[in-house]
Structure 1
Amino acid sequence: MEYLHLEILTDRLLLKPISLQYKEEIFQEFTVEITTYLYAAPPKELGDTEFFINQSLLEMQRGESLIVVILKKDSQEFLGCSGIHKINSKYPQTGIWLKKSAFGQGYATETIQSLKAWADTHLDYEYLRYPVDRENAPSRRIAEKLGGQIFSKYKHTNLSGKVLNVVEYRIRK
């Protein structure tokens, strides 16, 4: 499947493959605060963001991942990034981050719902894995709204050196 030209539309959002066109927004918005509960660390310089985007594009070319930018459908305003990793496995992993000004408006739930709907149609999987820090209540609610059940709990040190207390949800097909 060709992931580099895929577009997913929802009522309010457009999900399209990540590209260097969004490097400035990603660099500006992927801050220390945003990465508090994430595995990734904020970029130190624009080149770090460019590297991430280029790696994401390679993974998509190889059919390993689908990494998208989240845009408001009407204005094309950049809201964040999401994706599905290990896309060809029986247990792909999904995740999301939004810029701070997009918090609390239902964009994350709408995004993950639309990615799951896409996966239900296009992927052969048993369940989506959705790991989230135990303290990240808004992200936990996303998984729970989609019927996710906690499968495992573990500690994981993120790239900033912080120990995350992860609860991993399974969201069934």
Structure 2
Amino acid sequence: MDLLQLEISTSRLLLQPISMKYKEDIFSEFNQEITTYMYTKPPKYISETEDFIKDSLEEIKKCENLVLVILNKKSFKFLGCTGIHEINSNDPELGIWLKKSAHGKGYGLESIIALKTWAEENLDFQYLVYCADKANIPSRRIPEKLGGKIIREYKKTNLSGKVLNILEYVLPKAGD
């Protein structure tokens, strides 16, 4: 399967493999506010974003991780990124971030539903994982709306030095 050619479409969104075409959007939108509840920290220089994209493309080629941009289907405007980490494991992890102006419009849930459906149709796994900080209510709503159950809670210090209180959800497969 050539994941670099992947395209996942919903009624409003288009998910495509990350590319240098979106480096400016990612660099400017992946800021301190967006990363508040994430392990990673925002890049200081665009070269860091370029390195992230290069690394992500290598991981896609090796079928290790899948990193996709989220685009508005009509305008093709950049909305954020989503992906599946460790796609060949028994418990791949779904992740997402949206730029601030895309918050509150249901794009996160729509993206994760599309990604989950694709994973169930194309990957072999026991269950999907979705992690969110306990204080990040909008992010927690995504797995909860999908019937996710908390299987683990732990603390993790992110790269900016903030202690996160992570809730790890398991998402049921369709039909379970």
State the SS of the aligned residue for 1:91. coil
Q: Where in structure 2 are there 5+ consecutive unaligned residues?
A: none
What's the CA shift for 1:28?
0.3
Give distance in 2, aligned partners of 1:114 and 1:161.
33
Give distance in 2, aligned partners of 1:172 and 1:26.
31
> How high is the TM-score relative to the length of structure 2?
0.97
Give distance in 2, aligned partners of 1:157 and 1:47.
25
Preserved CA contact (<8 Å) 1:126 1:172: no
Q: Return the letter of the residue paired with 1:13.
A: L
Preserved CA contact (<8 Å) 1:157 1:163: yes
Q: Where in structure 1 are there 5+ consecutive unaligned residues?
A: none
Give distance in 1, aligned partners of 2:133 and 2:64.
24
Give distance in 1, aligned partners of 2:39 and 2:50.
18
1:72-151 alignment runs, 5 A limit: 72-151=72-151
Alignment-derived partner of residue 39 in structure 1: 39
What's the CA shift for 1:172?
2.0
Identity over aligned pairs, percent: 60
> How high is the TM-score relative to the length of structure 1?
0.99
State the SS of the aligned residue for 1:97. strand
1:82-118 Cα distance to aligned partner (Å, 9 max, x none): 0001000110001100000000000000000000000
CA RMSD in angstroms comes to 0.5
State the SS of the aligned residue for 1:140. helix
Aligned length: 173
Preserved CA contact (<8 Å) 1:4 1:60: yes
Give distance in 1, aligned partners of 2:49 and 2:83.
16
Alignment-derived partner of residue 53 in structure 2: 53
Give distance in 1, aligned partners of 2:127 and 2:140.
16
Please identify runs of 4+ aligned residues in structure 1 that moved more than 2 A: none
